């Protein structure tokens, strides 16, 4: 299956910023993982999906209170039980942060289980993201 893009938006409010008045990394990590999870949940049962790791979440620009950010995500790689989502957060035309979230398909006891999903990248960007995610 081809990667499917999911998008959401957030208004950065006063409770989302740190003492410098910029987006708090903890809040953005919450939105980052949530977006990766939503992309994975579109392919598998949410009762059996858990986050394992965040990869490469590095800010390139600050985000200030009052800005509206866009959060894009899509599953770009799958393994036996892994689903790896690529997440990009942007403000206007600026990419603020991007990286990957690894989620695992588990049974009711929390042990990894095969999900039977296969991602087939079509676009050049998706092929590049597939390769990067495969190397994680």
What does the pLDDT average to over 5-22? 96
* Two structure tokens written together for 18: 């740190």
If you average pLDDT over every residue of the chain, what do you get?
95
Count CB-CB contacts under 10 A for residue 72: 17
pLDDT of residue 128: 97
94-123 pLDDT, tens digit each? 999 999 999 999 998 999 999 999 999 999
pLDDT of residue 45: 78
The residue among 122, 115, 96, 136 whose CA lies nearest residue 40 is 115
Give pTM, 2 decimals.
Answer: 0.94
Q: What is the DSSP letter of 59?
A: E
* Two structure tokens written together for 75: 């599953």
Class of domain 6-134: alpha beta
Q: Where are the chain's structural domains?
A: 6-134
């Amino acid at each position: 299956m081809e990667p499917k893009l999911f998008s959401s938006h957030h208004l950065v409010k006063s409770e989302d910023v740190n003492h410098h008045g910029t987006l708090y990394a903890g809040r953005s990590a919450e939105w980052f993982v949530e977006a990766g999870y939503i992309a994975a949940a579109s392919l598998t049962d949410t009762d059996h999906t858990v986050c394992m790791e965040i990869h490469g979440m590095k800010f390139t620009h600050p985000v200030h209170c009052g800005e509206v950010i866009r959060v894009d995500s899509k599953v770009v790689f799958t393994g036996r039980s892994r689903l790896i989502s690529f997440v990009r957060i942007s403000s206007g035309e600026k990419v603020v942060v991007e990286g990957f979230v690894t989620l695992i398909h588990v049974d009711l006891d929390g042990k990894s289980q095969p999900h039977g999903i296969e991602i087939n990248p079509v676009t050049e960007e998706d092929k590049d993201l597939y390769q990067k995610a495969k190397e994680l």
